[in-house]
Amino acid sequence: MLCLVLPGMARGHKSVVPDSLQVLEMEVNGIGFRMQRVEGGSYLMGATIEQTDRDILTNKPAHLVFLSPYYIATTEVTVQLWRAVMPEGEVINPKGYPTVPISYVTWNECQEFVRRLDSITGLPFRLPTEAEWEYAARGGAKSKGYRFAGGNEADSVGWTYSCSGNWKHPVGRKRPNELGLYDMTGNVSEWCQDIYGPYTLCTQPDPCGPDTGSYRVVRGGSYDECNANSHLSVRRWHKPETSTEYIGFRIALTLPGDPMLQAQQEEEPPLSKSVKIKGKKVKFLYVPAEEPYYISEEIECALWRKMMLKEAPEKSKSVALGMSQTDRTYFAEYCSREAGEALYVASAEQIVLAEQQGLIVPFEKDASQKKKNESIRKKQNRRKANEKLSAWTELIGVKLPKKDDPVLMEFKKADDESRPLRLVIPTLPRNFDRESDRR
C-alpha cells in the first residue's frame, strides 16, 4: 500500500533516502493518510527558553536527546480512519464529521488499533514516543524555535480554547509546522507510547520513558486548553484506561532496514566540524571518549554580544569571560536555536579531557592568552573604580563618560565562571545499537 507520492515535498532533501520515501501515502479500506519522514537528530527536549513563561517542574530540566529516523502521521487519527480499522463498536461523534480526530479512546484501545493496522499493512505501526512527538512538533531539523507547532501564535496553528468554539475541528485546517504536520498544537491532546516519569539531565538516545509506572504520557494542548497550557513542552499523563473527549492520538512508524540507520552506523566521525552562528563559523574538534563529543574554540566577546545583547559587536577577538553559569546556559540555548543543532556549555571535565589529548590549549598556559586575560582584568578593575567615582561625582553634578567596551563584564573568581566559554556537541558512540534500545 506504499505509493510513490508527493516527491516535490522532499525536493532538496540531503540524505541517502530517496524522495519517494520522504512522504508515505497509505490507504486502509478506502481511507487515506500520510506519514511524514523525520530525519534522526539531536535536540534539547523540555523547558527550553522559548517554551517557558512560568515555573513548570514537570518539563524540566531541558536535556539532550538523540533520535533515529522515523515517520509520523501528518494528522491525528480521524473518526473515519478509526472506523476503517476498527469497524465494530460505537464511536462518540456528536456532530458527525468524519474527519475530526477520534477521541474517547483509551491508550489500551490505541494499542489494539495499531496492532490491527500492522496486520492490514504489514508494517510496524505504533504510537510515537514522547521524545519523537516533541521533536516532530518542534519541526525536527527544520525547527525555527517556535513556541507552538508552526508559529508563536497558538490560534494560527491550532484549535485552542480562544478559537475552537469548545469543539474539535476537522484535521488539517490550520497552518502546518515546519515538517508539514497539522494540529500538534490544539484540537485534541495525543497519547504517546511512554510511561510517564520525571526528566533527568542524562543524554538519552531514543528514550522510551521508565520501565514501570501507572500513567501514560499525553502531549499537545486540546481545544479546551488556554494558550499558556498549549506550548510544546507541556506534559500531561493519564491512566491507560482513561477515555475523554479531549484525548486522541496519531501514529508513528520506523521502517525496517532504514538506509539512514545503516549510514549512521558506518559513518566515520569527522575530526572537526564548523557550526554557523549569526554569520560566524565556530570550529569544533572531535574528542574521542566513552561518550565522544565535539568541543568548540573559545567563544569571543563579539559573538557573545551579538547573541546575548542583540547589538552589533565591535571588531574584537577578545575571549568572553566572567559570565554566570545561567547566562552561559542561555547563550548555548540561543546558539542551538540559531544553528539548528543541540549545543551545550562544555563542562570542566570535558575541557580537561580535550586539554589532556592536546586538542585545546589549557587556559592561560599560552602567553598571549594570559596577556589578554590580564588586560581584561585591569579594564574591569578600572571600570569598577570609575563606577565608584561616578557615584560620588554625580552628587556634585558632574557626570563622567563611560566607554562601552564589550569585554568589560563583571568578573568573578569562581573557576567555573572565570574559565573561557566553550560549547560542545555530544555524539553517540559508534557501537550504539539504536534498534535494540527502542522498546
How many other C-beta atoms can be found within 10 angstroms of the C-beta atom of residue 413? 7
Tens digit of each residue's pLDDT (9 = 90 or more) over 6-33: 233 333 334 467 777 899 999 999 999 9
pLDDT band at 322 (very low <50, low <70, confident <90, very high): confident
| Phi-psi group of 180: left, alpha or beta (phi > 0 → left; psi -120 to 50 → alpha; rest → beta) | left
pLDDT, average across residues 122-149? 95
Say if residue 117 is in the same domain as residue 215. yes
Judged by DSSP in three states, 104 sits in coil
In order of 272, 339, 379, 415, the CA distances from 303 in angstroms are: 20, 13, 20, 22
End-to-end CA distance of the chain: 26
- Out of 15-29, 49-63, 334-348, 404-418, pick the least confident: 404-418
pLDDT at 262 over 70: no
Same domain, 92 and 7: yes
Would you give the DSSP letter of residue 151? B
Q: Is residue 65 part of a domain?
A: yes
User: Which of 239, 261, 283 is the endpoint of a domain?
Assistant: 261
Tell me, yes or no, whether 247 and 293 share the same domain: no
C-alpha dihedral, 309 to 312 to 318 to 323, nearest 10°: 0
Distance CA 92, CA 258 (A): 38
**What percentage of the chain reaches a pLDDT higher than 90?**
48
Cα separation, 260 vs 37, in Å, equals 11
Among the residues of 92-153, which ranges form H helices?
107-121, 130-138
**Do 247 and 283 have their domain in common?**
no
Residue 116's identity, in one-letter code, is R
Which residues make beta-bridge pairs with 252? 72, 126
Average pLDDT for 193-218:
91
Residues 389, 250, single domain; the answer is no
Residue 432 is predicted with a pLDDT of 52
What residues contact 67, with CB distance under 8 A and at least 6 apart? 38, 40, 41, 42, 43, 131, 132, 135, 205, 206
Domain presence at residue 63: yes
Given this model, what pLDDT does residue 76 score?
98
- Residue 437 counted as domain residue: no
**What average pLDDT does range 191-212 have in this prediction?**
90
Kindly report which listed range (141-145, 199-203, 266-270) carries the lowest average pLDDT score: 266-270
Q: What is residue 434's predicted lDDT score, i.e. its pLDDT?
A: 47
Closest CA to 299 of 337, 331, 339: 331
Q: How high is the pLDDT of residue 258? A: 75
Do residues 122 and 62 both lie within one domain?
yes
CA distance 67 to 132: 7
Indicate the number of domains in the chain. 2
Whether residue 322 is found in the same domain as residue 299 = yes
**3-state SS, residue 364:** coil
**What does the pLDDT read at residue 21?**
83
Statement to judge: residues 211 and 319 lie in one domain = no
pLDDT confidence tier of residue 321, bands split at 50, 70 and 90: confident
Find the domain containing 80 and state its range.
Answer: 3-261
| pLDDT above 70: residue 342 | yes
Residue 77, domain member (yes or no)? yes
Based on the domain organization, do 230 and 364 belong to the same domain? no
Do the domain assignments include residue 436?
A: no
Let me know whether 293 and 222 are in one domain: no
Residue 292 predicted with pLDDT over 70: yes
Q: pLDDT averaged over the chain?
A: 82
The answer to whether residues 142 and 178 touch, using CB atoms and an 8 Å cutoff, is: yes
Reading the block at residue 93, the C-alpha cell is 461523534
Nearest to 197 by CA among 177, 219, 220, 213: 213
Q: Which of 205, 230, 261 is the last residue of a domain?
A: 261
Distance of CA 363 to the CA centre of its chain: 32
CA angle 71, 73, 79 (to 5 degrees): 155
What confidence score (pLDDT) does residue 30 get?
Answer: 94
| Sheet bearing 235-238, strands edge to edge | 235-238, 216-219, 189-195, 247-248
**Predicted confidence (pLDDT) at residue 232 exceeds the cutoff of 80:** yes
Q: Which three cell numbers stand for residue 189?
A: 491532546
Mean local confidence (pLDDT), 224-240: 92
Q: How far apart are CA 28 and CA 374, in angstroms?
A: 71
- 33 has which bridge partners? 26
DSSP class of residue 396 equals G
Residue 368 lies in a domain: yes
> What is the C-alpha separation between 67 and 39, in angstroms, rounded?
8
| Residue 403 in domain | yes
pLDDT of residue 380: 62
Distances (CA, A) of 251 to 31, 65, 196, 423: 15, 20, 18, 36
Closest CA to 194 of 216, 214, 212: 216
Q: What is the DSSP string of 232-295?
A: TT-EEEE-TT---TTEE---EE--TT-HHHHHHHHPPPPSEEEEEETTEEEEEEEE-SSS-EEE
The average pLDDT across 223-228 equals 90
pLDDT for the residue 392: 54
Residue 217, SS3 per DSSP: strand
CATH number at residue 183: 3.90.1580.10
In this model, does residue 319 exceed pLDDT 70? yes
Compute the radius of gyration of the chain from its Cα atoms: 25
pLDDT, tens digit, 9 for 90 and up, residues 359-413: 888 876 445 555 555 666 666 666 666 666 565 555 555 554 554 444 444 333 3
State whether 280 and 396 are in the same domain: yes
Q: Where is pLDDT greater, at 13 or 207?
A: 207
Q: How far apart are CA 9 and CA 360, in angstroms?
A: 43
438 within some domain: no
Angle of helix 325-339 relative to helix 301-308, nearest 10 degrees, comes to: 80
> Are both 278 and 420 inside the same structural domain?
yes
Of 261, 279, 300, at which residue does a domain stop? 261
Element holding 335 (H helix, E strand): helix 325-339
